[in-house]
Amino acid sequence: MSQPADLAADRHRRILELARQTGSVSVDALASALGVTPQTIRKDLNDLAARAMLSRVHGGAVVTSGVGNLDHATRAAVAAEAKAAIGAAAARLVPDGASLFVNIGTTTEAVARALVSHRELMVITNNLNVVDILAGRDGVEVIAAGGRVRASDRAVVGALAMDFIRGFRVDHAVIGASAIDRDGTLLDFDVEEVRVSQTIIAHARKVILVADASKIGRPAPVRIAGLDHIDYLVIDRIDPELLRACRDAEVTVIETGAP
């Protein structure tokens, strides 16, 4: 049986996911959705606000300012089941014998976990978590980009990483984004990370964007690209406006469904 701390952590993950989907949450709606008292939800929101994951407002909370991302461990916990399904679906787009980039993100790491049984892959990555997942696997050659390692999530970013990536022209790129506007604009928080992502996109024949639905409509300040640079979007569920934008841009949408 789950301990109270486990139950609180699960509520926190669900609250964050709902907040990222809608931009704000109310105490009463959360209490009804999660089957707990308003007092419990108020304590949960205060805990999340103390950790800078949400900002408290009267009657509820709003997502934090779109100038900073959540920490890696928290992002990995949000929508974990959806990311696993997205990872499996994206991996099916990559044939044996392919070359590919895999960039930063907890959803791209889910793709890497689904690639472990592929054969004759060449994977170039600026994500040291992906290196840990795939290095040493039979049939997978892993090439790590060089450059400055960002301590918060083990991302390799900066000019050296970009120069390294320019030395390749691969079959597929698997990329993530911290946010997706409903018009299809891909957004992120860190300028250096965005420049590396843009370099990856420019040096791949096909680009696979992987994202869970909590990224839709989320605020983030730095533009990565538009849908005209994307070939596939793999997502758990998509809203009608973004789906129309994908159709207009001739992006193939693979919807895995909510877990």
Whether residue 76 contacts residue 106, with contact meaning beta carbons closer than 8 Å, is answered with yes
pTM of the model: 0.74
Could you give phi then psi for residue 131, rounded to 5 degrees?
-55, -45
Would strands 155-157 and 170-175 be described as parallel, antiparallel, or unpaired?
unpaired
Question: How many whole angstroms separate alpha carbon 97 and alpha carbon 160?
Answer: 27
Whether residue 103 contacts residue 196, with contact meaning beta carbons closer than 8 Å, is answered with yes
Amino acid 1: pLDDT: 39
Question: How many whole angstroms separate alpha carbon 78 and alpha carbon 81?
Answer: 9
Question: How many whole angstroms separate alpha carbon 56 and alpha carbon 74?
Answer: 18
Q: Do domains 4-64 and 73-255 have the same CATH topology?
A: no
DSSP per-residue codes, 82-108: HHHHHHHHHHTTS-TT-EEEE-SSHHH
**Paired strand residues for 206:** 172
Q: What is the CATH number of domain 73-255?
A: 3.40.50.1360
Question: How many whole angstroms separate alpha carbon 206 and alpha carbon 149?
Answer: 27
Question: Rounded to the nearest 10 degrees, what angle do helices 4-22 and 38-50 cross at?
Answer: 80
Residue 77: both structure tokens together: 């916990």
Amino acid 67: pLDDT: 42
Mean pLDDT (10-residue bins), the chain, 259 residues? 69 85 82 94 88 76 58 61 94 98 94 96 97 94 94 90 96 95 92 93 98 85 95 95 97 90
Domain ranges of the chain: 4-64, 73-255
CATH topology for the 4-64 domain: Arc Repressor Mutant, subunit A (1.10.10)
